[in-house]
Amino acid sequence: MTEEDAAQPPEKPRSRRWFLGVGGGLLGAAAIYGLSRGGFRLWMNKSLPANAPRIAFSLDDTWLNDLGITDTTYQQAMTRAGGRLERFAPDLNMQEGSIPEDLLSMHGIDGLLLTGGGDVDPALYGGDEDAAILVNRECDDFEIALIHQALTRDIPVLGICRGCQILNVAFGGTLRSLRNIETLNDAHFTFRGHAVTIAQGSLLSRILDTSDLENVLSFHGQAVDQPGDQVRVVARGPEDIVEAIEAGDPKRDWAIAVQWHPEMAPANPLHGKLFRAFVERASRIAATRWN
């Protein structure tokens, strides 16, 4: 060994260098994610006026939510539309094991957003319990109670994916599984997306100003089977699967639910129309609080 070699610090074992590199990368990614989330929250707060309608949303409890992905996509879409999302969850809003009958009014809520997530408990509609995954009965009961509270108080409801399913079940409808039929599963749970045909004259068709969507992002293993009382099927996709419903009294209530994921394309003008129409309806409720 030369004097020059002796002066050099000993080289770290390769495995240790690898772990340090990976650890540093993960820490860097976490820091960037934290900063971006902080900047995102700051953007939301500055983008919305004080009188922006307050939208309650019951976020899914899957791994996508744990990573903050679904929260961010819904927050971005709703902020662009002018609505302020307020997180609602059973563990935060139960009182002695029950849901207050005026929970939405207590919190000054102007709209209800039902998001994606696990399967609705088959026991609620007489389905096959062995075919369901990621069931959360507490969440089901909570969201059904919120749906009825909202429509009783003329608060608009927008459902997405699982939100479409729970809205139908809340009105006594049933669901079907798509996972046990390969062609249905491949067509409706895919990054490729699929086309949707919307019933002419429906509220959804008037909002989007079209009866045909060439491609929507679709990731659902269940779908509406038998529509519930006062539930109208207003869109269908491949193999005639229900892709959107409207519920309640069509002359009074604003309740729309779609199986696809418009929140994943918030910059798309067509999908933005749905969120804006929802927020505009919620703004009417908000106006009564601010005037």
Q: How far apart are CA 105 and CA 110, in angstroms?
A: 8
Cα-Cα-Cα-Cα dihedral sign, residues 261, 263, 267, 268: positive
Whose CA is closest to 231, among 168, 290, 138?
A: 168
What is the residue whose two structure tokens read 């026991």?
123
- Looking at the DSSP assignment, which residues form a beta bridge with residue 216? 194
Q: How far apart are CA 131 and CA 174, in angstroms?
A: 14
| Beta-carbon contacts of residue 65 (< 8 Å; ≥ 6 apart) | 59, 71, 117
Q: Please list, residue by residue across 113-147, b when 16 or more beta carbons sit within 10 angstroms of its beta carbon and e when fewer do.
A: bbbbbbbbbbebbebeeeebeebbeebbbbbbbbb
* 161 flagged as catalytic: yes
Are 166 and 147 in contact by the 8 Å Cβ rule? The answer is yes
Q: How far apart are the first and last CA of the chain?
A: 85
Selected catalytic residue, list 139, 161, 194, 243: 161
* 263 flagged as catalytic: yes
Whose CA is closest to 138, among 101, 93, 180?
A: 93
DSSP 87: E
Give Cα separations from 284 to 54, 105, 256 (angstroms). 11, 14, 17
* 261 flagged as catalytic: yes
Selected catalytic residue, list 139, 194, 263, 271: 263
Selected catalytic residue, list 188, 194, 220, 261: 261
Report, as residue numbers or ranges, the catalytic residues: 161, 261, 263
